[in-house]
Amino acid sequence: MTERIPCKTEGCRATILPTTAAKTGGYCMPCHQEQERQKRQAYIEQHRKTVNLYEDLTDPVEILKVMHTPRQHDPLIQYVPYPLSKEQMYVSLTAEEAGRMLKYALELLAAGDKNEADPILLSLVCYRNDYIVEVLPELMEHGMYHSGILFKDAPPDIRDRLLQQVEWDDDNRNHLLLILSWIGDPVVISRIREWRLHPPEWAEQLFVGPEIYALEGGWELTSDGERRDLTHGLSYAIRATGEQRDAATAASNARFLKISASNCPWCDGKLTILLDADTSHPSLAYLGLPLERLQVETCERCGCFSTIYVELDRQGVPVWSRFNQKPAYLPSFDSEDSSGMTGPRLTLSSEPHSPYYAAIWTLSQQDSQIGGHPSWVQDADYPFCPCCAKRMRFIGQVDWADFDNLGEGIFYMFVCAEDKVTATLYQQS
Ligand SMILES: [Zn+2]
Ligand SMILES: [Zn+2]
Ligand SMILES: [Zn+2]
Protein backbone atom coordinates (compact mmCIF):
# COMPACT_ATOMS: atom_id res chain seq x y z
CA MET A 1 0.00 0.00 0.00
CA THR A 2 1.31 3.46 -0.89
CA GLU A 3 1.80 5.75 2.02
CA ARG A 4 -0.36 8.93 1.92
CA ILE A 5 1.22 12.24 2.85
CA PRO A 6 -0.44 15.29 4.42
CA CYS A 7 -1.38 18.35 2.33
CA LYS A 8 1.09 21.23 2.77
CA THR A 9 -1.59 23.82 3.51
CA GLU A 10 -1.57 24.81 7.15
CA GLY A 11 -4.71 23.54 8.82
CA CYS A 12 -5.74 21.25 5.93
CA ARG A 13 -6.24 17.71 7.14
CA ALA A 14 -6.36 16.01 3.75
CA THR A 15 -3.83 13.38 2.83
CA ILE A 16 -2.73 12.69 -0.73
CA LEU A 17 -0.91 10.14 -2.84
CA PRO A 18 2.72 10.89 -3.73
CA THR A 19 1.71 11.03 -7.42
CA THR A 20 -0.76 13.83 -6.64
CA ALA A 21 1.88 15.60 -4.54
CA ALA A 22 4.27 15.50 -7.47
CA LYS A 23 1.69 17.17 -9.71
CA THR A 24 0.50 19.82 -7.27
CA GLY A 25 3.68 20.58 -5.36
CA GLY A 26 2.46 18.83 -2.22
CA TYR A 27 -1.12 20.17 -2.02
CA CYS A 28 -4.43 18.30 -2.05
CA MET A 29 -6.66 18.85 -5.09
CA PRO A 30 -9.13 21.29 -3.43
CA CYS A 31 -6.25 23.39 -2.05
CA HIS A 32 -4.47 23.28 -5.40
CA GLN A 33 -7.59 24.39 -7.23
CA GLU A 34 -8.15 27.23 -4.76
CA GLN A 35 -4.56 28.42 -5.34
CA GLU A 36 -5.11 28.32 -9.10
CA ARG A 37 -8.37 30.25 -8.75
CA GLN A 38 -6.62 32.92 -6.68
CA LYS A 39 -3.83 33.19 -9.21
CA ARG A 40 -6.35 33.64 -12.01
CA GLN A 41 -8.27 36.25 -10.02
CA ALA A 42 -5.04 38.18 -9.27
CA TYR A 43 -4.14 38.04 -12.95
CA ILE A 44 -7.57 39.35 -13.98
CA GLU A 45 -7.42 42.17 -11.46
CA GLN A 46 -3.93 43.16 -12.57
CA HIS A 47 -4.67 43.04 -16.28
CA ARG A 48 -8.32 44.09 -16.40
CA LYS A 49 -8.94 47.06 -18.62
CA THR A 50 -11.73 49.52 -18.14
CA VAL A 51 -13.34 50.26 -21.48
CA ASN A 52 -15.72 53.12 -22.13
CA LEU A 53 -17.38 52.47 -25.47
CA TYR A 54 -19.29 55.77 -25.16
CA GLU A 55 -16.28 57.99 -24.51
CA ASP A 56 -16.20 59.78 -27.84
CA LEU A 57 -19.89 59.47 -28.67
CA THR A 58 -22.32 62.38 -28.49
CA ASP A 59 -24.88 61.29 -31.11
CA PRO A 60 -27.71 59.46 -29.28
CA VAL A 61 -28.25 57.19 -32.30
CA GLU A 62 -24.62 56.04 -32.19
CA ILE A 63 -24.90 55.55 -28.43
CA LEU A 64 -28.01 53.39 -28.86
CA LYS A 65 -26.35 51.33 -31.59
CA VAL A 66 -23.54 50.52 -29.14
CA MET A 67 -26.09 49.68 -26.43
CA HIS A 68 -27.82 47.23 -28.79
CA THR A 69 -24.64 45.55 -30.04
CA PRO A 70 -24.25 42.14 -28.40
CA ARG A 71 -21.01 41.86 -26.40
CA GLN A 72 -19.14 38.73 -25.51
CA HIS A 73 -18.31 38.43 -21.87
CA ASP A 74 -14.59 38.95 -21.31
CA PRO A 75 -13.34 38.85 -17.69
CA LEU A 76 -10.41 41.08 -18.66
CA ILE A 77 -12.69 43.90 -19.79
CA GLN A 78 -14.83 46.01 -17.54
CA TYR A 79 -17.33 48.09 -19.52
CA VAL A 80 -18.34 51.48 -18.19
CA PRO A 81 -22.16 51.66 -18.27
CA TYR A 82 -23.81 54.63 -19.96
CA PRO A 83 -25.42 56.98 -17.41
CA LEU A 84 -28.85 56.70 -19.04
CA SER A 85 -30.85 53.53 -19.69
CA LYS A 86 -31.87 52.41 -23.17
CA GLU A 87 -35.49 53.40 -22.57
CA GLN A 88 -34.50 56.86 -21.32
CA MET A 89 -32.44 57.28 -24.50
CA TYR A 90 -35.35 56.24 -26.73
CA VAL A 91 -37.80 58.59 -25.02
CA SER A 92 -35.43 61.55 -25.50
CA LEU A 93 -34.73 60.96 -29.23
CA THR A 94 -35.94 63.62 -31.68
CA ALA A 95 -38.18 62.44 -34.54
CA GLU A 96 -35.22 62.69 -36.91
CA GLU A 97 -33.03 60.55 -34.62
CA ALA A 98 -35.80 57.96 -34.18
CA GLY A 99 -36.07 57.83 -37.98
CA ARG A 100 -32.34 57.03 -38.19
CA MET A 101 -32.80 54.26 -35.62
CA LEU A 102 -35.60 52.82 -37.74
CA LYS A 103 -33.35 52.97 -40.81
CA TYR A 104 -30.66 51.14 -38.86
CA ALA A 105 -33.14 48.39 -37.91
CA LEU A 106 -34.03 48.02 -41.60
CA GLU A 107 -30.35 47.66 -42.49
CA LEU A 108 -29.98 44.96 -39.84
CA LEU A 109 -33.02 43.16 -41.26
CA ALA A 110 -31.60 43.33 -44.79
CA ALA A 111 -28.35 41.83 -43.47
CA GLY A 112 -30.30 38.99 -41.82
CA ASP A 113 -29.77 40.17 -38.22
CA LYS A 114 -33.37 39.61 -37.12
CA ASN A 115 -32.52 39.23 -33.44
CA GLU A 116 -30.81 42.60 -33.39
CA ALA A 117 -33.50 44.39 -35.38
CA ASP A 118 -36.42 43.13 -33.28
CA PRO A 119 -35.61 44.88 -29.94
CA ILE A 120 -34.91 48.16 -31.77
CA LEU A 121 -38.31 48.05 -33.47
CA LEU A 122 -40.01 47.08 -30.21
CA SER A 123 -38.30 49.95 -28.40
CA LEU A 124 -39.46 52.48 -31.02
CA VAL A 125 -43.05 51.21 -30.84
CA CYS A 126 -43.29 50.68 -27.08
CA TYR A 127 -41.25 53.53 -25.57
CA ARG A 128 -42.19 56.12 -28.21
CA ASN A 129 -45.36 54.77 -29.84
CA ASP A 130 -43.68 55.50 -33.19
CA TYR A 131 -45.42 54.72 -36.45
CA ILE A 132 -43.29 52.09 -38.22
CA VAL A 133 -45.62 50.72 -40.90
CA GLU A 134 -42.93 51.01 -43.61
CA VAL A 135 -41.16 48.10 -41.90
CA LEU A 136 -44.15 45.74 -41.90
CA PRO A 137 -43.70 44.34 -45.46
CA GLU A 138 -40.07 43.57 -44.51
CA LEU A 139 -41.15 41.76 -41.35
CA MET A 140 -43.59 39.65 -43.38
CA GLU A 141 -40.91 38.98 -45.97
CA HIS A 142 -38.66 37.62 -43.20
CA GLY A 143 -41.47 35.65 -41.51
CA MET A 144 -41.15 37.79 -38.36
CA TYR A 145 -44.60 37.49 -36.82
CA HIS A 146 -43.63 36.88 -33.21
CA SER A 147 -43.71 40.52 -32.03
CA GLY A 148 -47.38 41.19 -32.71
CA ILE A 149 -47.40 44.69 -31.26
CA LEU A 150 -45.20 45.91 -34.15
CA PHE A 151 -48.21 45.46 -36.44
CA LYS A 152 -50.70 47.43 -34.30
CA ASP A 153 -50.95 50.35 -36.78
CA ALA A 154 -51.02 48.13 -39.89
CA PRO A 155 -52.73 49.84 -42.87
CA PRO A 156 -55.74 48.14 -44.59
CA ASP A 157 -53.72 46.39 -47.33
CA ILE A 158 -51.43 44.67 -44.81
CA ARG A 159 -54.33 43.87 -42.50
CA ASP A 160 -56.17 42.20 -45.39
CA ARG A 161 -53.10 40.13 -46.31
CA LEU A 162 -52.85 38.97 -42.69
CA LEU A 163 -56.57 38.13 -42.57
CA GLN A 164 -56.09 35.90 -45.61
CA GLN A 165 -52.89 34.34 -44.29
CA VAL A 166 -54.43 33.36 -40.96
CA GLU A 167 -56.84 31.05 -42.81
CA TRP A 168 -54.11 28.86 -44.37
CA ASP A 169 -50.85 29.45 -42.45
CA ASP A 170 -50.96 26.70 -39.81
CA ASP A 171 -47.38 27.40 -38.67
CA ASN A 172 -47.89 31.09 -37.89
CA ARG A 173 -51.60 31.14 -37.00
CA ASN A 174 -51.02 31.70 -33.29
CA HIS A 175 -48.82 34.75 -33.96
CA LEU A 176 -51.13 36.00 -36.70
CA LEU A 177 -54.12 35.96 -34.35
CA LEU A 178 -52.08 37.93 -31.81
CA ILE A 179 -51.17 40.44 -34.52
CA LEU A 180 -54.84 40.81 -35.47
CA SER A 181 -55.73 41.41 -31.82
CA TRP A 182 -53.21 44.26 -31.73
CA ILE A 183 -54.73 45.73 -34.91
CA GLY A 184 -58.27 45.34 -33.53
CA ASP A 185 -59.91 47.65 -36.09
CA PRO A 186 -63.56 47.34 -37.25
CA VAL A 187 -62.66 44.88 -40.03
CA VAL A 188 -60.78 42.60 -37.62
CA ILE A 189 -63.59 42.91 -35.08
CA SER A 190 -66.21 41.83 -37.64
CA ARG A 191 -64.03 38.87 -38.71
CA ILE A 192 -63.66 37.71 -35.11
CA ARG A 193 -67.43 38.10 -34.68
CA GLU A 194 -67.92 35.84 -37.72
CA TRP A 195 -65.47 33.27 -36.33
CA ARG A 196 -67.47 33.17 -33.12
CA LEU A 197 -70.73 32.48 -35.02
CA HIS A 198 -69.18 30.03 -37.49
CA PRO A 199 -65.97 28.60 -36.01
CA PRO A 200 -63.43 27.82 -38.77
CA GLU A 201 -62.04 24.30 -38.95
CA TRP A 202 -58.58 25.41 -37.82
CA ALA A 203 -60.03 26.81 -34.58
CA GLU A 204 -60.16 23.26 -33.22
CA GLN A 205 -56.35 23.26 -33.05
CA LEU A 206 -56.24 26.36 -30.83
CA PHE A 207 -56.21 26.16 -27.05
CA VAL A 208 -58.73 29.02 -26.82
CA GLY A 209 -61.28 30.48 -29.21
CA PRO A 210 -60.03 33.17 -31.64
CA GLU A 211 -61.95 35.87 -29.72
CA ILE A 212 -59.91 35.20 -26.56
CA TYR A 213 -56.82 36.43 -28.45
CA ALA A 214 -58.36 39.93 -28.32
CA LEU A 215 -57.33 40.13 -24.66
CA GLU A 216 -53.66 40.27 -25.69
CA GLY A 217 -54.46 43.48 -27.56
CA GLY A 218 -56.20 44.89 -24.47
CA TRP A 219 -59.87 44.48 -25.47
CA GLU A 220 -62.66 41.93 -25.58
CA LEU A 221 -65.49 41.06 -27.93
CA THR A 222 -68.70 41.64 -25.98
CA SER A 223 -71.72 39.36 -26.24
CA ASP A 224 -73.16 41.93 -28.67
CA GLY A 225 -70.08 41.49 -30.85
CA GLU A 226 -68.63 44.93 -30.08
CA ARG A 227 -65.09 45.89 -29.08
CA ARG A 228 -64.82 46.82 -25.42
CA ASP A 229 -61.46 48.27 -24.32
CA LEU A 230 -59.94 46.86 -21.14
CA THR A 231 -57.01 49.28 -20.94
CA HIS A 232 -56.66 53.05 -20.98
CA GLY A 233 -54.37 55.07 -23.24
CA LEU A 234 -53.15 57.57 -20.64
CA SER A 235 -50.33 56.02 -18.67
CA TYR A 236 -48.07 57.42 -15.93
CA ALA A 237 -44.98 55.72 -14.54
CA ILE A 238 -44.70 54.81 -10.85
CA ARG A 239 -41.11 55.52 -9.79
CA ALA A 240 -38.98 55.92 -6.68
CA THR A 241 -39.11 59.56 -5.51
CA GLY A 242 -35.37 59.97 -5.93
CA GLU A 243 -35.83 59.75 -9.69
CA GLN A 244 -38.61 62.33 -9.94
CA ARG A 245 -38.37 65.38 -7.83
CA ASP A 246 -40.28 68.13 -9.60
CA ALA A 247 -43.12 69.89 -7.83
CA ALA A 248 -45.79 68.61 -10.22
CA THR A 249 -44.99 65.09 -9.06
CA ALA A 250 -45.77 65.85 -5.46
CA ALA A 251 -49.05 67.41 -6.61
CA SER A 252 -50.24 64.07 -8.04
CA ASN A 253 -50.85 63.05 -4.44
CA ALA A 254 -50.79 59.33 -5.24
CA ARG A 255 -49.35 56.85 -2.78
CA PHE A 256 -48.22 53.28 -3.23
CA LEU A 257 -47.42 50.18 -1.19
CA LYS A 258 -48.76 51.35 2.13
CA ILE A 259 -49.55 48.92 4.94
CA SER A 260 -53.29 48.73 5.52
CA ALA A 261 -54.97 48.78 8.93
CA SER A 262 -56.91 45.62 7.98
CA ASN A 263 -55.75 42.03 8.20
CA CYS A 264 -56.06 39.29 5.62
CA PRO A 265 -58.75 36.77 6.68
CA TRP A 266 -56.72 33.95 5.12
CA CYS A 267 -53.18 34.45 6.48
CA ASP A 268 -53.90 37.06 9.17
CA GLY A 269 -51.06 39.30 7.92
CA LYS A 270 -51.59 42.98 7.21
CA LEU A 271 -53.09 43.81 3.84
CA THR A 272 -51.20 46.09 1.46
CA ILE A 273 -52.61 49.19 -0.24
CA LEU A 274 -50.98 48.89 -3.66
CA LEU A 275 -52.42 52.16 -4.90
CA ASP A 276 -54.15 55.11 -3.23
CA ALA A 277 -54.82 57.86 -5.77
CA ASP A 278 -57.10 60.78 -6.48
CA THR A 279 -59.90 59.67 -8.83
CA SER A 280 -59.58 63.01 -10.65
CA HIS A 281 -56.06 62.13 -11.84
CA PRO A 282 -56.08 62.05 -15.69
CA SER A 283 -55.19 58.34 -15.70
CA LEU A 284 -58.29 57.48 -13.60
CA ALA A 285 -60.86 60.23 -14.29
CA TYR A 286 -62.36 58.33 -17.29
CA LEU A 287 -63.66 55.69 -14.85
CA GLY A 288 -66.19 58.19 -13.47
CA LEU A 289 -65.95 56.72 -9.99
CA PRO A 290 -68.27 58.47 -7.50
CA LEU A 291 -65.41 58.57 -4.97
CA GLU A 292 -62.66 61.03 -4.12
CA ARG A 293 -59.92 58.43 -3.90
CA LEU A 294 -59.36 55.00 -5.37
CA GLN A 295 -57.63 52.49 -3.15
CA VAL A 296 -56.56 49.07 -4.38
CA GLU A 297 -55.88 46.67 -1.56
CA THR A 298 -54.55 43.11 -1.65
CA CYS A 299 -52.69 40.57 0.43
CA GLU A 300 -49.18 40.47 -0.99
CA ARG A 301 -48.77 36.89 0.21
CA CYS A 302 -52.13 35.23 -0.59
CA GLY A 303 -52.50 37.49 -3.65
CA CYS A 304 -49.75 35.47 -5.37
CA PHE A 305 -52.03 32.42 -5.29
CA SER A 306 -55.46 33.81 -6.09
CA THR A 307 -57.38 36.74 -7.56
CA ILE A 308 -58.33 38.96 -4.63
CA TYR A 309 -61.45 41.10 -4.83
CA VAL A 310 -61.99 44.10 -2.59
CA GLU A 311 -65.22 46.10 -2.51
CA LEU A 312 -65.23 49.86 -1.95
CA ASP A 313 -67.88 51.17 0.38
CA ARG A 314 -69.69 54.49 -0.08
CA GLN A 315 -66.70 56.42 1.27
CA GLY A 316 -64.27 54.39 -0.85
CA VAL A 317 -62.98 52.38 2.10
CA PRO A 318 -61.76 48.96 0.89
CA VAL A 319 -63.55 45.93 2.35
CA TRP A 320 -62.49 42.31 1.75
CA SER A 321 -65.06 40.91 -0.70
CA ARG A 322 -67.51 38.17 0.21
CA PHE A 323 -66.82 36.77 -3.28
CA ASN A 324 -63.21 35.82 -2.51
CA GLN A 325 -62.63 32.09 -2.66
CA LYS A 326 -59.79 30.75 -0.61
CA PRO A 327 -57.52 28.68 -2.88
CA ALA A 328 -57.15 24.98 -2.12
CA TYR A 329 -53.46 25.53 -1.45
CA LEU A 330 -51.81 28.36 0.50
CA PRO A 331 -48.35 28.01 2.04
CA SER A 332 -48.03 28.86 5.71
CA PHE A 333 -46.61 32.35 6.06
CA ASP A 334 -44.19 33.42 8.72
CA SER A 335 -45.70 36.22 10.77
CA GLU A 336 -42.27 37.93 10.68
CA ASP A 337 -42.78 38.11 6.96
CA SER A 338 -45.85 40.28 7.18
CA SER A 339 -44.18 43.65 7.62
CA GLY A 340 -45.04 44.61 4.06
CA MET A 341 -42.80 46.00 1.38
CA THR A 342 -40.32 48.50 2.76
CA GLY A 343 -38.79 49.98 -0.34
CA PRO A 344 -38.17 53.55 -1.43
CA ARG A 345 -40.97 56.11 -1.42
CA LEU A 346 -42.85 55.91 -4.69
CA THR A 347 -44.56 58.58 -6.71
CA LEU A 348 -46.29 59.14 -10.03
CA SER A 349 -44.43 60.79 -12.92
CA SER A 350 -45.73 64.23 -13.86
CA GLU A 351 -45.92 63.52 -17.60
CA PRO A 352 -47.63 60.51 -19.21
CA HIS A 353 -45.53 58.02 -21.15
CA SER A 354 -46.45 55.83 -24.14
CA PRO A 355 -49.42 53.54 -23.37
CA TYR A 356 -47.27 50.68 -24.75
CA TYR A 357 -44.21 51.63 -22.67
CA ALA A 358 -44.27 48.46 -20.56
CA ALA A 359 -46.30 46.23 -22.91
CA ILE A 360 -43.37 43.89 -23.63
CA TRP A 361 -42.24 42.42 -20.37
CA THR A 362 -39.01 41.00 -21.81
CA LEU A 363 -37.56 44.43 -22.69
CA SER A 364 -35.49 46.16 -20.00
CA GLN A 365 -37.80 48.92 -18.71
CA GLN A 366 -39.38 49.34 -15.29
CA ASP A 367 -42.99 48.22 -15.59
CA SER A 368 -44.78 49.91 -12.67
CA GLN A 369 -47.43 52.32 -13.92
CA ILE A 370 -51.03 53.50 -13.82
CA GLY A 371 -52.96 53.02 -17.08
CA GLY A 372 -51.45 51.78 -20.34
CA HIS A 373 -51.03 48.17 -21.38
CA PRO A 374 -50.16 45.49 -18.84
CA SER A 375 -46.77 43.73 -19.01
CA TRP A 376 -48.11 40.18 -19.06
CA VAL A 377 -45.51 37.72 -17.84
CA GLN A 378 -47.82 34.86 -18.84
CA ASP A 379 -51.05 35.02 -20.88
CA ALA A 380 -53.31 38.08 -20.78
CA ASP A 381 -55.86 37.61 -17.99
CA TYR A 382 -58.56 40.14 -17.10
CA PRO A 383 -60.64 38.86 -14.16
CA PHE A 384 -64.44 38.85 -14.28
CA CYS A 385 -66.27 41.18 -11.92
CA PRO A 386 -68.00 38.99 -9.31
CA CYS A 387 -71.05 41.31 -9.33
CA CYS A 388 -71.84 41.91 -13.03
CA ALA A 389 -69.70 39.08 -14.54
CA LYS A 390 -68.08 41.49 -17.04
CA ARG A 391 -64.33 41.56 -17.46
CA MET A 392 -62.70 44.18 -15.23
CA ARG A 393 -60.60 47.03 -16.61
CA PHE A 394 -56.87 47.18 -16.08
CA ILE A 395 -55.88 50.26 -14.06
CA GLY A 396 -52.21 49.72 -13.30
CA GLN A 397 -49.46 47.42 -12.11
CA VAL A 398 -46.61 47.24 -9.62
CA ASP A 399 -43.53 45.24 -10.59
CA TRP A 400 -41.69 44.10 -7.47
CA ALA A 401 -38.42 43.94 -9.44
CA ASP A 402 -38.55 47.73 -9.98
CA PHE A 403 -38.04 48.58 -6.33
CA ASP A 404 -36.38 45.56 -4.77
CA ASN A 405 -33.26 43.83 -6.14
CA LEU A 406 -34.51 40.49 -4.90
CA GLY A 407 -38.12 41.12 -5.86
CA GLU A 408 -39.90 39.55 -8.77
CA GLY A 409 -43.40 39.26 -10.15
CA ILE A 410 -46.05 41.80 -11.04
CA PHE A 411 -49.31 42.69 -9.26
CA TYR A 412 -51.92 43.76 -11.82
CA MET A 413 -54.82 45.95 -10.66
CA PHE A 414 -58.36 46.01 -12.07
CA VAL A 415 -61.62 47.76 -11.35
CA CYS A 416 -65.31 47.49 -12.15
CA ALA A 417 -66.37 51.13 -11.78
CA GLU A 418 -70.11 50.31 -11.86
CA ASP A 419 -69.90 47.90 -8.92
CA LYS A 420 -66.99 49.63 -7.16
CA VAL A 421 -64.99 46.40 -6.93
CA THR A 422 -61.22 46.14 -7.40
CA ALA A 423 -59.23 43.00 -8.13
CA THR A 424 -55.57 42.04 -8.19
CA LEU A 425 -53.76 39.21 -9.89
CA TYR A 426 -50.13 38.23 -9.77
CA GLN A 427 -47.85 36.68 -12.39
CA GLN A 428 -44.21 35.76 -12.31
CA SER A 429 -41.89 33.89 -14.62
ZN1 LIG B 1 -5.37 20.73 1.32
ZN1 LIG C 1 -53.18 36.74 3.14
ZN1 LIG D 1 -69.13 44.72 -12.15
pLDDT tens per residue, range 255-280: 999 999 999 999 999 999 999 999 99
| % of residues, the chain, pLDDT over 70 | 95
Residue 155 lies in a domain: no
Q: How many CB atoms lie within 10 A of CB 54?
A: 17
Q: What is the mean pLDDT of the chain?
A: 92
Cα(301) to centroid(ligand 2), Å: 5
Residue count of the chain: 429
- The number of the ligand nearest the C-alpha atom of 20 reads 1
Q: 394 with 256, same domain?
A: yes
Ligand closest to Cα of 414 equals 3
Are 348 and 247 in the same domain?
yes
What does the pLDDT look like over 211-244, one tens digit per residue? 999 999 999 999 999 999 999 999 999 998 875 5
Q: Are residues 216 and 262 in the same domain?
A: no
Is the per-residue pLDDT at 252 higher than 90? no
Q: How far apart are CA 228 and CA 194, in angstroms?
A: 17
What pLDDT digit, counting tens, does each position of 31-48 carry? Answer: 999 999 999 999 998 999
Indicate whether 215 and 357 sit together in one domain.
no
Residue 251 shares a structural domain with residue 391? yes
Give backbone dihedrals phi and psi of 23, rounded to 5 degrees, phi first: -75, -35
Residues 182 and 306 in one domain: no
105 pLDDT higher than 70: yes
**What range does the domain containing 202 cover?**
167-229
Residue 75 lies in a domain: no
- How many structural domains does the chain have? 3
What is the crossing angle of helices 186-197 and 156-168, to 10°?
A: 20
Q: Is residue 60 part of a domain?
A: no
- Whether residues 334 and 215 fall in one domain: no
Q: Are residues 360 and 401 in the same domain?
A: yes
Q: Same structural domain for residues 341 and 267?
A: yes
Residues by chain with Cβ below 5 Å of ion ligand 1 = 7, 9, 12, 14, 28, 31
Which ranges of 69-221 would DSSP assign to H, the alpha helix?
Answer: 86-92, 95-110, 114-128, 136-141, 156-168, 173-183, 186-197
Same domain for 241 and 203: no
Residue 14 lies in a domain: yes
Distance 180 CA to ligand 3 centre (A): 28
Q: 312 CA to middle of ligand 2, Å?
A: 19
Q: Are residues 211 and 297 in the same domain?
A: no
Q: Please tell me the distance between residue 34's alpha carbon and the centre of ligand 1 in angstroms.
A: 9
In the structure, ligand 3 is a single-atom ion and the residues with CB under 5 Å from it are 385, 387-388, 416, 419
